[in-house]
Amino acid sequence: MELLEQITAYRPWNEQEAQDRKELLRRLESGEELYSRDNCAAHLTASAWVVSPDRRQVLMAYHNLYDSWAWLGGHADGDRDLLAVALREVREESGLTKVRAVSPDIYSLEILTVDGHEKHGKYVSSHLHLNVTFLVEADPAEAVRCKPDENSRVGWFTPESAVEASSEPWFRQRVYRKLNEKLAAY
């Protein structure tokens, strides 16, 4: 199923998701190129809320750019399979090899603001990440490692402590709490 169909079929969890879904659909229907960072204003990203099989732990990485504990994910960079993007990013950012999607369905939607910053010695203007999140499962007993160009630590937290570990208020209030609330259905 194509992303436009997936997002059309997606039922928002709250008002934030309803509004973000509306804007995601508008942009996808406009024909705007969203799968590439060539669109400097807004582009697609995929994230994973990585949980243990018993749902008592959440994997977070300490992202250097944001100076905060955060979920794992990254840019589509031309790949139209956002679930594959999310799984690839989890593997790259954590070193985990045995990760699986709990479901192929979208778990959450967000439009995220990214402040201007330096990356690889080049300035990147402020922009939007049109983000699709998937629920992913992994074994906390499997060894993790950081990806030094992106994060300095990777670790497992209780769902509540994962929220508190983030130093980004909007993510704590609007994203990570929501993701944990949704876990009750799984």
Amino acid sitting at position 101: A
Q: What single string gives the DSSP state of each residue in 80-118?
A: S-HHHHHHHHHHHHH----EEES-SS--EEEEEEE--EE
**Looking at residue 82, what DSSP letter applies?**
H
CA 122 to chain centre: 24
Q: What is the DSSP pairing of strand 151-157 with strand 108-114? A: unpaired
pLDDT band per the 50, 70, 90 thresholds, residue 106 = very high
Amino acid sitting at position 20: D
pLDDT band per the 50, 70, 90 thresholds, residue 108 = very high
d(CA 8, CA 124): 31
Q: Which class would CATH give 3-183?
A: alpha beta
d(CA 83, CA 135): 10
d(CA 128, CA 43): 7
At 47-89, the pLDDT tens digits run 999 999 999 999 999 998 888 999 999 999 999 999 999 999 9
At 127-181, the pLDDT tens digits run 899 999 999 999 999 999 999 988 899 999 999 999 999 999 999 999 999 999 9
On the question of pLDDT at 1 being above 70, the answer is: no
pLDDT band per the 50, 70, 90 thresholds, residue 124 = confident
Cross-strand partners of 59: 156
d(CA 23, CA 80): 18
At residue 99, the pLDDT reads: 97
Whether the CB-CB separation of 24 and 133 falls below 8 Å is answered with no
Domain extents in the chain: 3-183
d(CA 128, CA 109): 13
